[in-house]
Structure 1
Amino acid sequence: MAENWVKAYQSAQVMRADIAREILEQNGIAAVIVDKKDSNYPVFGMYEVHVPAGDLSQAQMIITNEGALNESE
């Protein structure tokens, strides 16, 4: 059964995206990092954390409540 995956978080820093993925997985939400960085011009693009569509609201709540992931980009 294929699920629709949606973006729950994005960052210009791969480390922050990886922390978000890890926090979501610790809370029982499957998550993957999608690299949207431009390979020729790495200053453009972001790292996105995607989750199953049904888990989006819970994932966003977890990320919002996680102070370490708040950043200004």
Structure 2
Amino acid sequence: MEKHWIKLFVTPNPIRAEIVKQMLEEHQVPAVVINKQDSSYRFGQIELYVHESQESLARELLADNEYGAHEEN
């Protein structure tokens, strides 16, 4: 991954990660999901990254939409 990307959100739920990614992209905040789960046993985390220039807006959007209350990193 390129430099200057910030881990914004971590969850064990792949669907939730994609929902958050879609919400950010609808607000013109590019996001990248990296799935670090084991494919056989489904343990591990899924991480969502945003560019550092978009971090404050992304955090505001998470807070406004209550996505990051328990899973935000």
Fold shared by both chains (TM-score > 0.5): yes
Correspondence for 1:47: 46
Q: In structure 2, list runs of 5 or more residues that go unmatched.
A: none
Would you identify which runs of 4 or more consecutive aligned residues in structure 1 move more than 4 Å? 70-73
Correspondence for 2:64: 65
After TM superposition, the score normalised by the length of structure 1 is 0.78
RMSD: 2.1
After TM superposition, the score normalised by the length of structure 2 is 0.78
Q: In structure 1, list runs of 5 or more residues that go unmatched.
A: none
Percent identical across equivalent pairs?
27
Equivalent residues in 2 for 1:6-25, closer than 5 Å: 6-25=6-25
2:50 touches 2:58 (CA, 8 Å); kept in 1?
A: yes
User: How many residues end up aligned between the 2 structures?
Assistant: 70
